[in-house]
Structure 1
Amino acid sequence: MTPSKCKILIVDDEPLNVELLSVYLGDNYDIVTSYNGKDALVKVKEECPDLILLDVMMPEMDGYDVCRVIRNDFKMDFIPIIMVTALTDKADHQRGIEAGADEFLKKPVGRFELEKKIDSLLRIKKQHDTLLTEKNKAYYYLDYVGVLVAVLDLDFKVTTINRKGSDLLGYSPDKIVGKEWIESFISHDSVNDIRAHYDGLISGEVEPYEYSEVPIILSTGEERLLRCYDSPLMDNSGKNMGILISGEDITEMRKAEKQLKEYASQLERSNDLKDLFTDVMRHDLLNPAGLIQSFVDLLIETETDESKKHILNNINKATDKLISMIDGAAHLAKLESVDEISFVRVDLNSIISDIVKGFEYQTMEKDMEIIVKMDEGCFTLANPMIERVFVNLLSNSIKYSPNGSTITIDVMDIGNKWKLSFIDQGDGIPNESKASVFERFMRLHKENIRGTGIGLAIVKRIMDLHMEIIDVDDNPEGKGSIFWLTLKKAN
């Protein structure tokens, strides 16, 4: 297929000038001609040329006026305009620049100079058109993503909101952009808490929440519950520009959870209910969450604007946490439907070594050290799912320990069993919370909504299936906790 030629509009009241320029350019471009300013404006609208060669001195409407209408009234900022003129005074050139001309050529026009200027301007226009296409594509995909995405400036006014967000709130985007987010859309009872949180994000005193649940008010006056991930936006120099909000309406989910709990209490953890819950988690929630992540990954690959890429990376992190939470809940539901497991001979040296290697990136990010104290030849009788216990315990130790601290994995011989301890230097766990830390959906540090309360419940269920002990103590050597468990030795 032959690529289409660029289209050039030649405007001059002298037919000979038009004919000469047409001869120069006719082999390489599609030529449209006009012999006065008013007709030229009609041709601009009808033909949408890629470039305009515009004479200055024309009767009734001169080139300056034509150029000014194209730029100001037609809002066509990126059609290159070359003014062709016999005028050489600097003031005339200044008038052309103010009217919106991109280049000037002196009559009589030389063919070589003409072709070079046209080639240069069309190359720039092509780059602009490509960027504009990619930008529009990015906004299209962002609108397609099924979560609210909004950007607030430092005064918490909305500067950008996607289609999902405006549809959820019940306003057109122009009725949202420019509004103060907290006063306009947050439930009155939560205004002070949300404002304090945003102030902390801007000042750096508050770490970004993994998730926060925010009641919002729709155009109808209805209150809905939004699960938000809030993140400060930085420019290339590290200066704070505002706040990114990505949120999902979980009102119906919360209602469903309440109904589910009531139903579960009546059926006393029926196996049928567990199967239904697992199916809902895996299919009705995990699939759309994976779709969101796929679209965001595509946007990150194609986005060239660093500030927008930063926004997309934050959305990607939030989606990744959502997928992890859904997968964990589904896995827990599946485990609770299991009554018996098989056992095989497991090499603790090998499995712990592989797990520690898998966390090298996280420990490097936090400047942490993992020390493993274990003799050679440590074998246990366990189900392969025991690996998830070690992964969850080490992940928690890294997550809740400060930068620069040390985590110790200690494997002790206590007769016919091994005692495995994961020792961290974090904030520790209050005595009143130790008994409930392994319960489902139990979260500590609720002021920062850290974690989902599922990981340790999975650990406890796996250890129950092994008929072994899992518990937590204070670290006697200072701050922190010791999560420890027992496993049978293998001959």
Structure 2
Amino acid sequence: MSSKYKILIVDDEPLNIELLSVYLRDTYDILTAYNGKDALEKVQNESPDLILLDVMMPNMNGYDVCRTIRKEFKMDFTPIIMVTALTGKADHQKGIDVGADEFLKKPVGKFELDKKITSLLRIKKMHDDLLTEKNTAYHYLDYVGVLVVVLDLDYRILRINKKGIDLLGYSSEKLIDREWIESFVPISSVNDVRNHYDGLASGTIKPYRQHEFPVIINTGEERLFRWYDSPLLDNAGNTTAILISGEDITEIKKAEKQLKEYAVQLERSNDLKELFTDIMRHDLVNPLSLVKSFTELLSEMESDDYKKELLENINEATGKLISMVDDAAHLAKLESVDDINFVKINIYSIMADVVNGFMNQVHDKNIGLKIQAEKECYAVANPMIERVFVNLLSNSIKYSPQGSTVIIDIVDMVDKWKISFIDQGDGIPDASKASVFERFKRLHKVDIRGTGIGLAIVKRIIDLHKGHVAVDDNPEGKGSIFWLTLKKDI
């Protein structure tokens, strides 16, 4: 395929065509026509890059050919040079009126011909390049995910991308040249939108300033858009059009509203949760404590063994109920906390105090209890870690058989401490290990009654410490090892 420009030479004199062809054939591809009708067929079928057009031809003169090319064929940017023996001003003006770009006087000289053709083809190339860039830009605009519209200074639609057509729900033919504000902006927003566009056109409003207003689509529904607009300027800096681009945020705004409503409900729910926690801790524990105190007093005064046994059962049940309420309230508080403060603590010292608090239970079950650790094991922790030690040691003692041994092992793991509570109880099935730290999960339902909350409290406190907690089988026979990690104070 030839890369040369195509030039159409139109003249009813074959010798004139032959002369111009000799001048040009080494540089250009040459097309020829000997009358106006033939010339118009060549223009339609061959799309020449430039036309050398004789004026005086029979049946259809050069003026008529030029007028048809410009008006009917809509070929505004194909250069047309009229080659004529007519030199009057009226003849030249007539040629300009029908769309001619240049004039050459017969007989044509080669130098002048080359100069005119080169100049006009250079201008045509610049136009073609700009048109290509424009078409490429419009092509890309069709595939962006936002509505893009070009408005003239009367705010009529000059161009709209495919996304915009889809969002508005109209065909391209029904959108082009429609007045944007009157057609698509709700009455309540018309003044604000018009003032915004006027400000963009005059330069009093900065481009790309975000704003929001709704648009009415073909169904009559209002859709809210977030807009980023800018003026389009010519080489002299004058505004020639306005480019508006909008993103449909209707669903986003609905979601934001629902999220805000949910946040309010959640805050109210948290307030109710705090209220319920306070009620449990004060309004329930206080009367239960009174019941326990009076039961203990009656038990001391009672001499009948049967009645004394009943009072002791009441006292034990009340104590467990107080413990359950306290655990539930404590867990509720922990679940509303995201951050805690840390201090330097000696794990061994705290553990020794915890062990002393269980010595009566240890003696009652004839259980051996050992701490395997250095006397100084410093960690970074919150004082609430003591409750973790209390819960895990309580479980180890509770689920250990008479005469067995419970071991507390504290091991240095370079950057952290691993603290293990080792018992010789029944152990925990593998299928239950993953859920044992969930609240209200209590695996031993026979003989021993528990609240099912203690291990959930342990898990929550260790999570707040960014540590780990888990349970393994005791490799020294039956039983379990509940272990946790705490960051060392280095």
TM-score, length-normalised on structure 2? 0.48
Larger RCO, structure (CA 8 Å, separation 6 or more): 1
Which entry has the higher C-alpha Rg, 1 or 2? 2
